[in-house]
A and B are shown apart, each in its own frame.
Chain A
């Protein structure tokens, strides 16, 4: 007798859980997927960084004799831009949490501009560098690593722009429906953190 009531309450519990999931329609696992993707993507960078560190440790001189000094001014400005853009972007997401879509648009728009500024800065740096891709092993690494990161920044900017584009649609994003916004933001922070590691490795410790 007792055990059967116990069973029944368990069934009832399952039932409520079932309703709960049914409520959100298909429960949303996309954020989890984004995390897995970023773990995987970070391994690509780990591969590049590891190669860079191995070269650094086995070559007799690093950067090799005769490599022109890296200009630090532009990259430092770029670092400042990228790091602060993460905070700017977060304000956009916070605005959305209060259902303030125009706040989201403002802050995300600003982030996109900062991202573009970063890319322009990188373009300037490439253009004015006193060395080329094939000058030596170090400069090859330099272009490969910063270029691959720049590609990520470009993708990030495109993601933000697509969020902005979609946000024109009434009710597309709200405090309860914001996957695109969050995914873009996580991605942007990720690109930001990678840059910090890259900055230390490529610009500072040589």
Chain B
């Protein structure tokens, strides 16, 4: 009885009391240990590389508008293609996932910062050198062996570019591992006491699954690249058949990381979507546990499907059967998620703003990418379309239609929190419409190209493919244009946007219980967990579900 009033003066708060330093813009260029600064650093850096990677893609598409290599030389095309793939994966999508994780995890679980703030800063500051190193290879002959860097091609196609590529990936991989250590520790150890693992936001679950894959997969890629480096520089022949080695071993090691890596690239955005949809549909998430556990299932299954990339590499029949089966089984947890998201939208009071539009765009495009993925899991079909544009179409539907759309949904959703400003909805919707049209125009016809037999990774092709290629190129120009409303919107909003309240979407997760942007150590006092993360409109007493959420929010000072 007597202690009941004391929690008000919570001892945790007493130490570093209310002197809240102001955030200065210079902080973003320093070795800051604040997870919010680091999150923004990741995000802005990732966007920079996105525009670089996108520009390279536009050059490629311009070249591919006509069958002849008239715009760039084939050799340069190979460099563009390798750099585009590598940048998009290792310097755009993976760091962008880490950006959201860094920014959101501590806020969502009510912590002041990540478990290891300094390690966190170290992880971020490996990315700019890694990226600059990679780009510097253009001056000295960029790598040409594709983002997969298969030997023996990678051993014979230009030493310096290839070695730079390896070093850069090792650096970026290390950064990714350090980040993952932080995410797991923070999620397990730093939640406010009231938040058990089943009341934490689904984004945290998806980051657990992602981090597990990073921790288990990335080191194996590192091992492969170290051996490849030996072959390249020291004259060994681990992977060089000419010296008695075996390139297939590289493929196994590479894909042991790189298949899980596709989940490293999509799972964070599964998490983002699970946050965005319920808020803007004003409905509880459908199947919280199903979504949470399916992330873990995907993570586990993701580790045992890698050889579906090697159906044409002389893999024995029984092994192909195994990998075909496991790959198809992954469609089950993935399907569970897609159905849960659809059910979340079903009958909701949809607020079709930019965030939700991108969320729905994610659902529809990812669905196509997922379905073509199941087609590719079937060995006979894969043998038919292996190394054709069908593959290029498929993985852009997952990577662009999935990850990038999810990423934009997250950017629009959390922009008010991160910047303290609202975005312009008209420009945001314009951005969505242009992106959606451009994206489908660019990548849908590629499936047809692949079925007709057009190979990927080529700069010149048979004239019969010209019409469809032209459509793809026009689509890619629309995509290029689509970034302008986005950039204008973001820049304009940061400086001139309407001030954002703490909780513009009446959302229930903890990050909305503090100021926008959050104060330096996140919360004035330890936040109260007064509702599950997705309990929208469940108060049946009230006539209007929304109203009751408003009331609940007002109680904890997170009203909009």
Majority secondary structure of chain A interface residues (helix, strand, loop or mixed): helix
Which of A17, A29, A47, A137 interacts with B245 by CB under 8 Å? A137
Contact with A along B215-246 (1 / 0, CB 8 A): 11111101110110010001111100001111
In the assembled complex, the Cα of A11 lies from the Cα of B238 at a distance in Å of: 62
Q: Do residues B116 and A30 form an inter-chain contact, with CB atoms below 8 A?
A: yes
A156 to B227, CA, bound (A): 23
A51, B253: Cβ atoms closer than 8 Å? yes
Q: Is B543 an interface residue (CB 8 A)?
A: no
Which among B1-9, B67-75, B151-159, B341-349 touches the partner chain?
B1-9
Q: Kindly provide the distance from the CB of B521 to the nearest chain A CB, expressed in whole angstroms.
A: 12
In the assembly, what is the distance between CA of A128 and CA of B313, in Å? Answer: 40
CB of B7 within 8 A of CB of A148, answer no
Q: Are B193 and A47 in contact, CB atoms less than 8 angstroms apart?
A: no
Residues of B within 8 A of A64 (CB): 244
Asked if B126 is an interface residue, CB under 8 A from chain A, the answer is no
Is B177 on the interface with A (CB-CB < 8 A)? yes
Q: How far is the CA of A30 from the CA of B185 in the complex (A)?
A: 9
Partner of B219, one of A22, A44, A59, A134: A44
* Interchain CA distance A148-B227 in the complex, whole Å: 11
Of chain B, the residue at the smallest CB distance from A22 is B11
Is A54 part of the contact surface with B, judged by Cβ < 8 Å?
A: yes
Q: Quick one: which of B219, B230, B236, B245 contacts A40, CB cutoff 8 A?
A: B219
Which B166-220 residues sit within 8 Å CB-CB of chain A?
177, 180-182, 184-185, 188-190, 193-194, 215-220
B252 contacts the other chain (Cβ, under 8 Å)?
A: yes
**Known contacts A15-B6, A55-B249; is-contact A133 B222 (Cβ 8 Å):** no
Contact partner, B234, options A12, A48, A55, A133, Cβ 8 Å: A133
Report the separation of the CA atoms of residues A134 and B182 in the bound assembly, to the nearest whole angstrom.
Answer: 40
CB-CB under 8 A from B253, the residues of chain A are: 47, 50-51
In Å, the complex CA distance between A50 and B185 comes to 29
* Distance between Cα atoms of A33 and B6 in the complex (Å): 34
Contact residues of B: prevailing secondary structure: helix
Q: Say yes or no for B10: interface residue by CB 8 A criterion.
A: yes
For the complex, give the distance between the alpha carbons of A91 and B405 in Å.
56
User: Which of B182, B189, B222, B249 is within 8 Å of A51, CB to CB?
Assistant: B249
- The docked-state distance in angstroms from the alpha carbon of A17 to that of B256 is 43
Q: Is the CB of A54 within 8 A of B249?
A: yes
Interface assignment of A174: CB less than 8 Å from any CB of chain B = no
**Nearest chain-A residue to B218 (Cβ)?**
A40
B252 engages A148 (CB within 8 Å): no
CB–CB A33/B246 < 8 A: no
A46 beta carbon closer than 8 Å to chain B: yes
In angstroms, Cα B234 to Cα A133, docked, is 8
Instruction: Tell me which residues across on chain A come within 8 A of B237, comparing CB atoms.
Output: 134, 137, 140
**Shortest Cβ distance from residue A12 to the other chain B in the assembled complex, whole angstroms:** 4
Cα(A12)–Cα(B47), bound, Å? 47
User: What 0/1 readout, one digit per residue, does chain A (12-37) give for beta carbons within 8 Å of chain B?
Assistant: 10110111011000010110110011
Contact of B185 among A22, A36, A46, A54 (CB under 8 A): A36
Q: Which of B116, B215, B219, B230 lies at the interface centre, i.e. has the most chain A CB atoms within 10 A of its CB?
A: B219
Task: Give the Cβ gap from B105 to chain A, nearest Cβ, in Å.
Answer: 14
User: Given the complex of chains A and B, what is the CA–CA distance between A48 and B10 in angstroms?
Assistant: 51
Inter-chain CA distance A137–B240, complex, in Å, is 10
Q: Quick check: A47 and B220 within 8 Å, CB to CB?
A: yes
If A8-B1, A17-B193, A21-B12 touch, whether A41 touches B244 (CB-CB below 8 Å) is no
Judge if A144 is at the interface, Cβ distance under 8 Å. yes
User: Is A193 interfacial (CB-CB < 8 Å)?
Assistant: no
Q: Does B273 contact A (CB under 8 A)?
A: no
* B89 beta carbon closer than 8 Å to chain A: no
Q: Within 8 Å of chain B (Cβ to Cβ): is A76?
A: no
Decide if B4 touches A8 in the complex (CB within 8 Å).
Answer: yes
State the CA gap A57–B408 with chains docked (Å).
Answer: 48
| A84-B416 Cα distance, complex, nearest whole Å | 59
Do A18 and B11 have beta carbons less than 8 Å apart?
yes
Find the A residue at minimum CB distance from B216: A43
Query: How far in angstroms is the closest Cβ of chain A from B393?
Result: 32
Contact B3 A12, beta carbon cutoff 8 Å: yes
**Contact in complex: A39, B215 (CB < 8 Å):** yes
**A-chain residues with CB within 8 Å of residue B252 when the two chains form the complex:** 50, 54
Asked if B115 is an interface residue, CB under 8 A from chain A, the answer is yes
Least Cβ distance of B286 to chain A in Å? 31
**A residues neighboring B (CB under 8 Å):** 5, 8, 11-12, 14-15, 17-19, 21-22, 27, 29-30, 32-33, 36-37, 39-48, 50-51, 54-55, 58-59, 64, 133-134, 136-137, 140-141, 144, 148
Name 19 A/B residue pairs within 8 A (Cβ), A-sorted: A15-B6, A18-B11, A18-B526, A19-B11, A27-B189, A29-B115, A29-B185, A36-B215, A43-B217, A43-B219, A43-B220, A44-B219, A47-B223, A48-B227, A50-B252, A58-B246, A133-B230, A134-B236, A144-B226
Beyond known contacts A18-B11, A18-B12, A137-B238: 6 more, CB 8 A cutoff: A11-B7, A18-B526, A40-B216, A45-B223, A47-B219, A141-B238
Q: Which 3 A-B pairs have the closest CB atoms?
A: A47-B223, A43-B219, A44-B219
